[in-house]
Amino acid sequence: MSLLEIKNLRAAVEGHEILKGVNLTINPGEVHSIMGPNGSGKSTLAQVLARRDTFEVTGGEILYNGKDLLRMKPEEAACEGVFLAFQYPVEIPGIGNAYFLRSAINAIRKYRGEDEMDAMDFLPLFRENLKLLEMDEKLMNRSVNEGFSGGEKKRNEILQMAMLQPKLAILDETDSGLDIDALKIVARGVNALRGPERSMLVITHYQRLLNYIVPDFVHVLVDGQIARSGGPELARELEETGYGWAEPATQQALPA
Amino acid sequence: MATTAKLQNYFEAFNEMEARGEASEPVWLHQLRSEGWASFSANGFPTVRDEDWRFTSLAPLTRTPFRRATAADDLIPGIEALHLSGAACRLVFVNGRFAPGLSATGNLPAGLQVSSLVQALGDKTGGAEQHLGRYVNLRRDAFAALNTALWEDGAYIRIRRGARIEQPVHLLFLSTTGGAPTMTHPRTLIVAEPASQAVIVEDYVSSGNGAAFSNSVTELVAAGDAIVSHYLVERENYDSFNVSTLRIEQARGANVSSHSILLGGGLVRNNVHPVLNGPGAECLINGLFVGAGRQHLDNYMLVEHASPNGSSRQFYNGILDQQARGVFHGRIVVHKDAQKTDAKQTNRNLLLSDDARIDTKPQLEIRADDVKCTHGATIGRIEDEPLFYLRSRGLDERSARNLLLYAFAAECLDRMMEQPARDFVEELIQKRLREIANAEQQASPSSQEARADASPEEVA
Ligand SMILES: Nc1ncnc2c1ncn2[C@@H]1O[C@H](COP(=O)(O)OP(=O)(O)O)[C@@H](O)[C@H]1O
Ligand SMILES: [Mg+2]
């Protein structure tokens, strides 16, 4: 059985249709990449998957692990194993990183009927993942993402992913704003989490990230629809040709 | 005057105090009471036509015939649950009268002197009479005048020169309610001698339902280089009326923090009035008010800079739900000689419902020319972005909201440096925020769910 099956998904925001019939199937263990020009609907797709209610689903369906994802609240999707690494991680003053992470882990455990994780079990795991992402433990005494640099925020997303161990990880432009060293660290973190039990949807505007996280499949999203699909070579082709061929379509799609 | 009929109950209370005072009180105190009464009876309670009371109608208070509370019962079941553990001592006042049996004043740290105010004035060695009534303005302030006329007891705290007392002094003011509406007028005097240090927690609680009116006045005198932290905790029932006045007098280099935590009470007015009356004095005015139901929480700050090189910081955060109403009136007065004053004021508010309301008003009166004075206020709601972020990590909507409320409150908690006072108020705040998050959840079924149910069955 496939882990994720998106069928003819349509979504709108404020009456403006952004996703216009997306079809995508992801099997367990597969890494898919979605590329595409700015404004083509990549983040919209990611947020619909994470169940943000700003986006109104106007048609289609999403089966996740055999369940109707569109009936889930964000926290239910998360507890069922969906994780979104945000394109723009949110700063939350007043809530400590470590506290937040432990609350999230325990919320998920509770949902699954498992025992809470205590500080004794949390800390070694936390430290191990901090090391993997070359993050300073001191950063974790601060509030969630508060005063973090762009790169630190993106690393923090991957840290959270490593701690929460999702079944479906959606990375929304995790590479944007990273220098090459940070990009390598993030890619290493992501690759460490690849496995037969975990699927990934890696959204990126540039091919660069895909040199480090090599996907099984590449899709190009243009104007709310998947225009092309292929293997990793498609990403390299796009690097050379750019999205020029897709421009007229996007321009038409832009609101006047 | 027209309001006299309404004030009949206060007049009777004053007569009772007069009769008692004539027998047992020194002349100066007797005179002070008369002065208080003269001022109060001449002016009556303020109305919304008074600029300082524009946002708070006292009608519900003036139309309730409060009587002096009857003798205190020393048996209060469950009172242990109200204790602040780790306190240096505890003075309990039941219906405005000192309850020695419920208090703990043994084994005091060196340099700390505590007693009831009545005892202190009887002693004559403590120095209370030097300060009592010297700082409040009876003419300007009706509630301080009324308190001065009618107070029966309160606390006297003196910290000797150079003594640094780290554990807090816990003052617990308990009103037993349920019968006819009662009133108390607690009067407290805190004298911090030069270079001394102390933490005082004034805590207002009601035992039982029903209306009571607490009208407290605290005069806090901080001598040169003294460091004093004062906490006010209002956690009375939602029928209560609570007016508190904290008048702070600061000498050279004195550093005073006032932390107000308003969680309970129906109609609450929190007056904080520091006067920086010596060069280089510093003052922090920090507060959190959390209201729901029909609570009305009014904060009136008057920060007076009367000497050069003083610094004052006001930070008040408000959380208001349902039909609750909040007021923040932040007045800063910089007198002519107070050059190089640095005064700052920030009021941030979270409104959790369409019916909640906040009135926030800065008022700067600057008569010196070389000063730095800033103010700012914000009114917002729980934002969608952080809420979604937390939920996307698995926290349910209620927990996520609760966490965001806590984070907002934590801005105030982070300015409270003294343990165990900080932990004590943190626990009370968390409990109140949980109640609010739970009520929120019940009031609005998840919009997400409604949406999912309403979405058309896509594949027919
Ligand atoms: N909250 C929103 N309100 C209004 N328009 C939005 C909102 N989010 C996205 N859009 C619009 O939807 C389109 C797709 O955006 P997005 O999914 O962020 O694209 P991408 O991630 O591919 O750059 C854009 O035209 C964008 O302006
Ligand atoms: Mg995007």
* Residues within 8 A of A (CB atoms), B 424-453 only: 446-449, 451-452
User: Which residues from A are below 8 Å from B407, CB to CB?
Assistant: 92-95, 143
**Which tens digit of pLDDT belongs to each residue from B167-219?**
999 999 999 887 889 999 999 999 999 999 999 999 999 988 889 999 999 99
Tell me if chain A has a CB within 8 Å of the CB of B346.
Answer: no
Residue B448 contacts residue A74 (beta carbons within 8 Å)? yes
If you ran DSSP here, which 8-state letter would residue B108 be given?
P
pLDDT at B459 (0 to 100): 29
- Of B393, B411, B448, nearest to A73 by CB-CB distance is B448
Tell me if chain B has a CB within 8 Å of the CB of A112.
Answer: no
Angstrom distance (rounded) from CA B356 to CA B292: 8
A59 by DSSP, 3-state: which?
Answer: strand
pLDDT tens sequence for chain A (256 residues)? 899 999 999 999 999 999 999 999 999 999 999 999 999 999 999 999 999 999 999 999 999 999 999 999 999 999 999 999 999 999 999 899 999 999 999 999 999 999 999 989 999 999 999 999 999 988 888 899 999 999 999 999 999 999 999 999 999 999 988 999 999 999 999 999 999 999 999 999 888 899 999 999 999 999 999 999 999 999 888 888 887 776 654 444 444 4
Asked if residue A54 has its Cβ within 6 Å of ligand 1, the reply is yes
Which atom, in ligand 1's list, is nearest to the CA of A173?
21
Q: What count of other Cβ atoms lies within 10 Å of the Cβ of residue B453? A: 8
pLDDT tens sequence for chain B (460 residues)? 444 557 899 999 999 988 887 778 889 999 999 999 999 999 999 999 999 999 999 999 999 999 998 766 667 778 899 999 999 999 999 999 999 999 999 999 999 999 999 999 988 777 899 999 999 999 999 999 999 999 999 999 999 999 999 999 999 999 988 788 999 999 999 999 999 999 999 999 998 888 999 999 999 999 999 999 999 999 999 999 999 999 999 999 999 999 999 999 999 999 999 999 999 999 999 999 999 999 999 999 999 999 999 999 999 999 999 999 999 999 999 999 999 999 999 999 999 999 999 999 999 999 999 999 999 999 999 999 999 999 999 999 999 999 999 999 999 999 999 999 999 999 999 999 999 988 776 665 443 333 333 333 322 2
pLDDT at B125 (0 to 100): 72
pLDDT at A241 (0 to 100): 82
**Through-space distance between the first and last CA atoms of chain B, rounded to whole angstroms:** 78
Q: Which residue of B has its CA nearest to A71?
A: B452
Tell me if chain A has a CB within 8 Å of the CB of B74.
Answer: no
**Through-space distance between the first and last CA atoms of chain A, rounded to whole angstroms:** 43
pLDDT at B354 (0 to 100): 96
B61 by DSSP, 3-state: which?
Answer: helix
Signed CA dihedral, B275, B280, B283, B284: sign only: positive
Selection from B56, B71, B82, B24 nearest residue B176 by Cα: B71
Signed CA dihedral, A92, B320, B245, B238: sign only: negative
**Which tens digit of pLDDT belongs to each residue from B12-24?**
999 998 888 777 8
- ipTM value: 0.94
pLDDT at A246 (0 to 100): 67
Question: Three-class SS string for B390-404?
Answer: HHCCCCCHHHHHHHH
Range B143-160 burial, b when 16+ CB lie within 10 A, else e: bbbbbbbbbbbbbbbbbb
pLDDT at B77 (0 to 100): 78
Angstrom distance (rounded) from CA B293 to CA B35: 38
Asked if residue A15 has its Cβ within 6 Å of ligand 1, the reply is no
Asked if residue A166 has its Cβ within 6 Å of ligand 1, the reply is no
Q: Which residue of A has its CA nearest to B447?
A: A53
pLDDT at B438 (0 to 100): 82
If you ran DSSP here, which 8-state letter would residue A171 be given?
E
Asked if residue A103 has its Cβ within 6 Å of ligand 1, the reply is no
pLDDT at A109 (0 to 100): 97
Angstrom distance (rounded) from CA A179 to CA B65: 72
